[in-house]
Structure 1
Amino acid sequence: MSTVLTRFDDRADGRVATLTLNRPQARNAITVELARALHDGLAAAAETADVVVVRGAGGHFCAGGDFHEVSRLREQGPEALRPLFETFVGACELIATLPVPVVAVVEGYAMAGGFELLQSVDIAVVRDDAVLADNHANFGMIPGGGGSQRLPRIVGTPRALGHILLGDRLSGRDAVDWGLAWACAPAAELDALVERTVANLLGKDRDALARIKQLVRGGLHGTLTDGLAAELSSTLAHLGGERAGAGIDRFTGRTRS
């Protein structure tokens, strides 16, 4: 059985791809196989879908790296572990380059690598009673999926260091308060929140969403001056296109002949 299941949902206003991490017996813990399937599934889904949703099977998002896999690979030496981490980090990094929004739906556990995957997506929607943490230090380990770099950029250095060093758990509501997630909802309302989020994205101009994502993601790696220049260039290119022109006409009430 595949460790990542992909389902496409064709709607009147666009196509949604749902990728489900599918190791429910292990709370969707990350193996080399799952990391590779996630990377390939994301890349394939983005070719035809307008929105990509990532969630976990069995009531949990992802419990992090599979300890049995780590133990097995560790016996072969440190280099044997490289494919596990490089493949998972590659999947997380890929999300930033995709031209479509990637939405994580988080319930149950999102620990260690699962917490790092949440940090990588464009929009995270969480159950208010979800359990999230970078708990590597609790097991004498260190983040290996990007958490030491992404978390400080999202929540600031003092809060990130405090969280990673102490390994305390966060709720879904805490994640929203910290700026780690966009919105949360109780279990009975989570699917409705996900649907509203996806429908909102499908109602937007695809090119505009892609350009916004590219500007925000790219701006994090350069200076403010470089980012502003990129924004101006992208804005002019976008406004010169037919789709932007149609949007402006709708706003102004103008009808083109």
Structure 2
Amino acid sequence: MHYETIQFERRGAGAWIILNTPKNMNSVSLSMLSELERALIECESDRSIKAVILTGAGSAFCAGADLKNVLSSLNNSEPGTKDFLDMFDEVCGLLRKMPKPVIAAVNGLALAGGLEIVMCCDIVYAAESAKMGDAHSNFGVFPGAGGAAVLPKKIGLNRAKHLLFSGDIISAAEMERFGLVNQIVADQQLVEEVETYVEKLAAKSPLVLRRMKEVANASVDQTQDAALRHEMLHLRQHVRSYDLAEGLKAFAEKRKPEFKGY
């Protein structure tokens, strides 16, 4: 499949989606969103892909939306067609609901819409030199993919308000302290570290990972009792699965399990 604004690469069990317009710091355009949608749909349907990794080409992960492209899309969209906001919402939905682990490999600046993409990912690795911030307020722009709606759940209400109101850009180390970043690695080690993590995930049951992700995501907006009931429902379904039987059999036979995802 041909792409112009992204690169799509298979590396072992991982699918790497590389935002690839480095001259404008991988700013998100309508065409990039369309290509991301195609790539993510392929990732979801291909059972050999065990994890999806997002990163950026050049010195930035993603500097946010291409504002000129946004304005053009909003002003010139035909009735009944999807504009920039519709497409960004769809892409973020695909990332959040992807039935496989989604990993952000933040290699540089992740601002505004770039930060919102990071927040859609399950696991966040960041290079030591990476910097992040909401930045919408710096240009009088209102977030639409989680800046105000999701960031407080990720890092806490007061910290989120501070970043939203100030538009400040902070270090990856500070974002790790806030809880958004899982692990910081040396810049030159970022790809290697993520590939090692993907290899670890590839050995797990994809069915277990999918069900864990679904229950964990839903728990954020549930009471503890509701979340526990949801978890038990999935467990009741899981006890009938091939992967559980294979895992227990492999344990008894002292060998590595060979999961099939059902």
- TM-score with structure 1 setting the length: 0.89
**SS of equivalent residue, structure 1 residue 148:** coil
**SS of equivalent residue, structure 2 residue 129:** coil
Separation (CA, whole Å) in 1 of partners of 2:207 and 2:98: 12
Kindly provide the CA deviation profile for residues 85-115 of structure 1, in whole angstroms up to 9, marking residues without a partner as x.
Answer: 2211211111122211111111111010000
Letter in 1 for 2:43: A
C-alpha RMSD over aligned residues: 2.2
Structure 2: runs of 5+ lacking an equivalent? 256-262
Which residue of structure 1 aligns with residue 259 of structure 2? none
- Tell me the percent identity: 28
Contact kept? 1:73, 1:80, Cα under 8 Å: no
Letter in 2 for 1:173: A
Which residue of structure 1 aligns with residue 24 of structure 2? 26
Separation (CA, whole Å) in 1 of partners of 2:146 and 2:81: 15
Shift of 1:75: 5.4
Kindly provide the CA deviation profile for residues 55-76 of structure 1, in whole angstroms up to 9, marking residues without a partner as x.
Answer: 1112311000112213434655
2:132 matches 1:132: yes
Kindly provide the CA deviation profile for residues 39-64 of structure 1, in whole angstroms up to 9, marking residues without a partner as x.
Answer: 22111112111111111112311000
Which residue of structure 2 aligns with residue 61 of structure 1? 61
Which residue of structure 2 aligns with residue 145 of structure 1? 145
- TM-score with structure 2 setting the length: 0.88
Structure 1: runs of 5+ lacking an equivalent? none
Contact kept? 1:70, 1:81, Cα under 8 Å: no
Contact kept? 2:127, 2:186, Cα under 8 Å: yes
Shift of 1:8: 1.9
Which residue of structure 2 aligns with residue 93 of structure 1? 93
In the TM superposition, 1:238-253 aligns within 5 A as 238-253=238-253
Separation (CA, whole Å) in 2 of partners of 1:44 and 1:195: 20
Separation (CA, whole Å) in 1 of partners of 2:237 and 2:36: 33
**SS of equivalent residue, structure 2 residue 100:** coil
Match of 1:5 among 4, 7, 12: 7
Kindly provide the CA deviation profile for residues 178-214 of structure 1, in whole angstroms up to 9, marking residues without a partner as x.
Answer: 1111111111221221122111111211111011011
**SS of equivalent residue, structure 1 residue 147:** coil
Aligned residue pairs total: 250
Change (3 A) 1:67 1:46: same
Separation (CA, whole Å) in 2 of partners of 1:89 and 1:74: 14
Separation (CA, whole Å) in 2 of partners of 1:108 and 1:80: 37
Separation (CA, whole Å) in 2 of partners of 1:99 and 1:211: 8
Which residue of structure 1 aligns with residue 218 of structure 2? 218
Higher helix fraction: Structure 1 or Structure 2? 1
* Superposition misfits of 4+ residues, deviation over 6 angstroms: 79-82
Shift of 1:221: 3.3
Contact kept? 1:124, 1:182, Cα under 8 Å: yes
Kindly provide the CA deviation profile for residues 198-251 of structure 1, in whole angstroms up to 9, marking residues without a partner as x.
Answer: 111112111110110111112223332222111001112212322212212333
